[in-house]
A and B are shown apart, each in its own frame.
Chain A
Amino acid sequence: MKIKLILFALLAFAGIAQAKLNVVTTLTDFASIAEQIGGDKIKVSAIAKGSEDPHFIDAKPSFIRLLNQADVLIEGGAELEIGWLPPLLNNARNAKILPGAKGHLFLGQHVKLIDLPTAPVDRSQGDVHPSGNPHFWLDPENARAIATAITELLTCNDNANAAAYETNRKRFVDQLDKKIGEWKKTLEPYRGTKVVTYHKSFDYLLNRFGLELVSTIEPKPGIEPSATHIRTLVPRMKEAQVKLVLAETFRSKRTPEYLAKETGARALFLPSSVGAVPQAKDYFSLLDYDVSQIVSAIKAQQ
């Protein structure tokens, strides 16, 4: 019992000594934006690694401990984390970050989600998310709304540093505006380029910069392609003159490369989250990298 008390006292002391808002995010992308806004006032950790398929994170017990210590939790929502976050939250014993508490943020509520089903959804259509496509962070315009929502969250939970958060938000948004201008200019010549993606993970990026999604390698969300689907995809891609086959870095290389070879397109394995490749150190460098990779892949074909 004495040891317990001492442990408690030590931890309480450590807590006071740090006094930084402990922010936990589900994805590295949200962590990166939170870092930009929180600066040295917060401590940020992400549950998923940037290189992982975000739909299939293991609910490792260490995450229970991480969530137990959190002051705020930032999740994407739209069922992105549905397969692994609920049991972690249920066992975290932390009322501060439960849905509805002031330390919980669903980012998906603050952005415009695309791919909303136009008819009732059932699972014969694959694993369709009834709330819309949850891969929204790859649209840099959404980063503006994400930054605002995170600033509100941090302010609400740590009002003492409100001014610092607002200053950082402005700086982030200014840089974002500048970057969006650069990215748009860089990709402008390639507007209308036809693209096939593996999963519907890059729709937001493509929409923003005017690249056109022709089809996906998955016949339905989350369903692996059959040989028949691939066979029908090849003539469709040739007809549409698809230039790029985009897949996240964690996808198997085989099918995208086969399709590229058969159709004369180029297979490109792009990071969809911060940290998926060493170059994608933060949110800006992730998009810098993705944009430059897309451009050089299209150029290589001309």
Chain B
Amino acid sequence: MGASSLMAQESDLESLKRSLRDQQKIIESLMRKVEALELQQAAVTNRPVEPRNIATALNTNAAPAGAGEIAKRWSPSDPLRLIGSAQNYINLSFDALLAAGSSTAQDIEALQPGGHDPKQRGFTVQNLETVFEGKVDPYFRGQANIVMSITPDGETIVEAEEAYLESMALPWNLQLKAGQYLTEFGRINPSHPHTWGFVDQPLVNNEMFGGDGLRNPGARLSWLMPTPFFAEIGLSIQNSQGETATSFRSAGGHSHGGEEEEEALPFALRHPDNDRGVRNFGDMLFAPRFQTSFEATDAQTVLLGTSAAFGPNASGAAGDSRTQIYGVDATWKWKPVNHAGGFPFVSWQTEAMLRRYRAGAFDWDENGNGAVDDGELVDLRTGLPASFGSETLTDYGVYSQLLYGFRKGWVAGLRFDYIWGEEGDYEKFGKSFNGGPAFTTDPLRDSRWRVSPNLSWYPTEFSKIRLQYNYDDRSHIGIDHSVWLQLEFLLGAHAAHKF
């Protein structure tokens, strides 16, 4: 009994010693950890600590995170860390698009008609775009693109380019968009300049939709069709007046300063006072679009679309003539299934458009005295005030562009532009205005073609440097050469790219 109890005591002593040794080891390892943590802490506190944002402080369930906060290195004793910052009410980004270059043309502003094209020799601030984007509530997403640019005169222009909400969860595969937005017509019109493959806007877009594209307040309903492949059909109803509705109830092209307005007038002789407001539903702009997409192979994607825009225009005295624009677009992209960083790729994109513009009858002898007065256009054949009959003007335009991402960050591009129109009766005779010569061929409908090779380098997804050459041939004006260097930078929220 005694011996066994002694043995038991000894073994107890042994186990006590052992557990003491184990504890000593644990303490030592903990000391090491504490030291390491202290070192880390010192490293962290040497940096300026930014204030925790209120949302994080209030929402104690959410993990501390976010760009403005110092995240602690994870250690096994820490609670599991959740992804993302505690609040994500708004994604904010700023994109700047700048250009520098020169051209042989004297009239660079007319040569480069896009609202955000390079506008002069030397430097142009093309597009400073601030984007606010986020989920409004469980039903809607909201986005606003506020764009600034600086005119050749040095004036800063601010445009509320887009500000719309878009439903995310309507039943029956429907989606509603409402607000101020770029009309979904083709590929270029609904997209912003910094996403384009070239320094400037395709000529056909300028001819049909003006320098800043077709955009107005309105609403759009679209339906994702229950087909095995992607097919979407949508109808947009927007206001048809104003400077961002060229071809419709707009007195002229988009003007960044005022001079352009007069230059723009001859196009089908739109009356500048012809903004008579909306009389009925038919005075709205209707823009349907159908698009479908499929994968030809794992590496090849095809997107085909057809769009139209119907609405009243501002020509004639009665103000009841209408415009129809039809467009088709095709996009093909090859990107191998083992791409790295999205390269290499080849993409080809083409849009063709047709416009039928009903020019209303207009008699320049507005006071009806049969004699030439100041401010009346004169028909040089008769020497009397000009009188135009009603006629349909037909214009065409196409661009085709190829982009080849040949190594990571490097893209070579080639674009071909061509616009032309059928001569209207109003262009068949000489005219004079206030004693001076006036147009014969309408400069806004004259034919023109352009070839633009370029090379772009994207150091990262957030910056871009692009060099482009334009060979321009304008009927009645001649050939011009232009070279533009473009620079882009993006701050803020990571851009997500639509196809």
Pick from B170, B298, B460: contact of A123, CB under 8 Å:
B460
Q: Is the CB of A93 within 8 A of B83?
A: no
Query: With A60-B293, A60-B295, A95-B169 given, is the CB distance from A84 to B496 under 8 Å?
Result: yes
- Pair A93/B341 contact, Cβ less than 8 Å: no
- Assuming the A-B contacts A61-B303, A120-B50, are A108 and B173 also in contact, with contact meaning beta carbons closer than 8 angstroms in the complex? no
Instruction: Please determine whether A83 and B81 come into contact, CB atoms closer than 8 angstroms.
Output: no
Query: Which of A87, A114, A123 has most chain B Cβ within 10 Å?
Result: A123
Proximity bits, B162-203, A CB within 8 Å = 1, else 0: 000011111001110000000000000000000000000000
Q: Report B228-268 residues with CB < 8 Å from chain A CB.
A: 228-230, 232
- Smallest distance from the beta carbon of B64 to chain A beta carbons, Å? 10
> Is B483 an interface residue when CB atoms closer than 8 A count as contact?
no
Residues of chain B at interface, number, CB under 8 A: 64
Q: Is the CB of B47 within 8 A of A119?
A: yes
Let me know if B67 and A82 touch, CB within 8 A.
Answer: no
Cβ contacts under 8 Å, A119 to chain B: 44, 47, 70
- Asked if A93 and B174 sit within 8 Å, CB to CB, the answer is yes
- Complex interface: chain B residues within 8 A of A94 (CB): 169
**Counting CB contacts under 8 A, is A177 at the interface?**
no
Return A15 CB to nearest CB of chain B, in Å: 10
Surface stretch bound by B, among A248-256, A259-267, A279-287, A290-298: A248-256
Q: How many residues of A contact B (CB 8 A)?
A: 62
**How far apart are A78's CB and chain B's nearest CB, in angstroms?**
5
Count: A-B pairs, CB below 8 Å = 162
Chain B residues in 8 Å Cβ range of A65: 224, 227-230
Q: Which of A33-41, A124-132, A160-168 contacts B (4 or more CB under 8 A)?
A: A124-132
A249 to B224, CA, bound (A): 36
Q: Cα distance A109–B173 when bound, in Å?
A: 30
Q: List A residues at the B interface (Cβ < 8 Å).
A: 7-8, 11, 49, 51-53, 55-56, 58-62, 64-65, 68, 77-79, 82-87, 89-91, 93-95, 98, 100, 106, 108-110, 112-114, 116-123, 126-127, 130-132, 222-224, 248-252
Can you list 19 A-B pairs, Cβ within 8 angstroms, ordered by A?
A8-B226, A52-B338, A53-B341, A59-B496, A60-B499, A65-B228, A65-B230, A85-B496, A90-B166, A90-B168, A95-B169, A98-B168, A106-B83, A117-B71, A119-B70, A120-B69, A131-B83, A131-B84, A248-B340
B65 interfacial contact with A, CB 8 Å: yes
A118/B73 in contact, CB under 8 A: yes
* Interface members, chain B 288-305 (any A CB < 8 Å): 291, 293-295, 298, 301, 303
Contact B74 A112 (CB under 8 A): yes
List 16 other contacts, CB 8 Å, given A77-B83, A95-B138, A119-B47.
A52-B338, A56-B339, A59-B498, A64-B232, A65-B227, A85-B496, A89-B168, A93-B224, A98-B168, A109-B82, A113-B83, A118-B73, A120-B69, A130-B65, A131-B65, A249-B338
**Bound CA span A222–B460, Å:** 8
A295 to chain B, nearest CB (A): 24
**Distance between B292 CB and nearest chain A CB, rounded to angstroms:** 8
Q: Does any Cβ of A come within 8 Å of B32's Cβ?
A: no
Q: CA separation between A86 and B67, bound complex, in Å?
A: 20
Any chain A CB within 8 A of the CB of B333? yes
Asked if B39 lies at the interface with its beta carbon under 8 angstroms from chain A, I say no
| Contact residue among B71, B84, B173, B339 (Cβ-Cβ distance under 8 Å from A93) | B173
Query: Residue of B at shortest CB range from A83?
Result: B496
Whole-angstrom distance between the Cβ of A179 and the nearest chain B Cβ: 23
A224–B343 alpha-carbon span in the complex (Å) = 13
Q: Contacts A8-B226, A93-B169 given; indicate if A53 touches B496 (C-beta within 8 A).
A: no
Distance (whole angstroms) from the CB of A6 to the closest CB of chain B: 11
B6 interface contact, C-beta 8 A: no
Q: Is the CB of B174 within 8 A of A108?
A: no
- Within 8 Å of chain A (Cβ to Cβ): is B495? yes
The answer to whether A79 and B494 have CB atoms under 8 Å apart is yes
Residues of B within 8 A of A79 (CB): 494
> A109 to chain B: which residues have CB within 8 Å?
82-83
Give residues 48-102 of B contacting A (CB, 8 Å): 50, 65-74, 80-85
Kindly identify which residue among B80, B84, B339 contacts A250, using a CB–CB cutoff of 8 Å. Answer: B339
Interface of A is mostly: loop
A83 to B495, CA, bound (A): 6
Kindly identify which residue among A51, A62, A117 contacts B230, using a CB–CB cutoff of 8 Å.
A62
Question: Closest residue to B303 on the A side, CB-wise?
Answer: A61
Within 8 A of A (CB), among B324-344: 333, 335, 337-342
Contacts of A110 in B (CB 8 A): 80
Q: Are B74 and A59 in contact (CB under 8 A)?
A: no
Task: Report the nearest B residue to A121, measured CB to CB.
Answer: B67
Greatest chain A CB density within 10 A among B68, B170, B173 is at: B173
> Which residues on the B side are within 8 Å of A126 (C-beta)?
460
Check if B80 sits within 8 Å of A62, measured CB to CB. no
B439 contacts A by Cβ under 8 Å? no
A7 to B85, CA, bound (A): 43
Interface membership of B141, Cβ < 8 A: yes
Q: Count chain A CB atoms within 10 A of each CB in B85, B175, B494 and give the residue with the most.
A: B494
Asked if A61 contacts B230 (CB within 8 A), the reply is yes
Interface residue? B366 (CB, 8 A): no
> In the complex, which residues of chain A have a beta carbon less than 8 angstroms from the beta carbon of B230?
61-62, 64-65
Enumerate chain B residues within 8 angstroms of A123, measured Cβ to Cβ. Answer: 460, 462
Contact call B168/A7, Cβ cutoff below 8 A:
no
**B71 in complex: contacting residue of A87, A91, A130, CB < 8 Å:** A130
With A78-B83, A112-B81, A114-B74: A52-B496 Cβ-Cβ less than 8 Å: no
Q: Please name the residue on chain B nearest to A117 by beta carbon.
A: B71
Report whether A68 and B295 are in contact in the complex, using a CB–CB cutoff of 8 Å: no
Q: Given B44, B168, B462, which contacts A95 in the complex, CB threshold below 8 Å?
A: B168
Measured between beta carbons, the chain A residues less than 8 angstroms from B173 are 68, 93
Q: How far is the CB of A113 from chain B (nearest CB, A)?
A: 6
Closest A-chain residue to B408, C-beta based?
Answer: A224
Q: How far is the CA of A108 from the CA of B63 in the complex (A)?
A: 13
Closest to B295 in A: A62
State the Cβ distance, B451 to closest chain A Cβ, in Å: 28
- B83 contacts A58, CB within 8 Å? no
From B82, B141, B337, B460, A223 is in contact (CB under 8 Å) with B460
Verify B294–A62 contact, CB threshold 8 A.
yes
Find chain A residues with CB under 8 A from B293 CB. 60-62
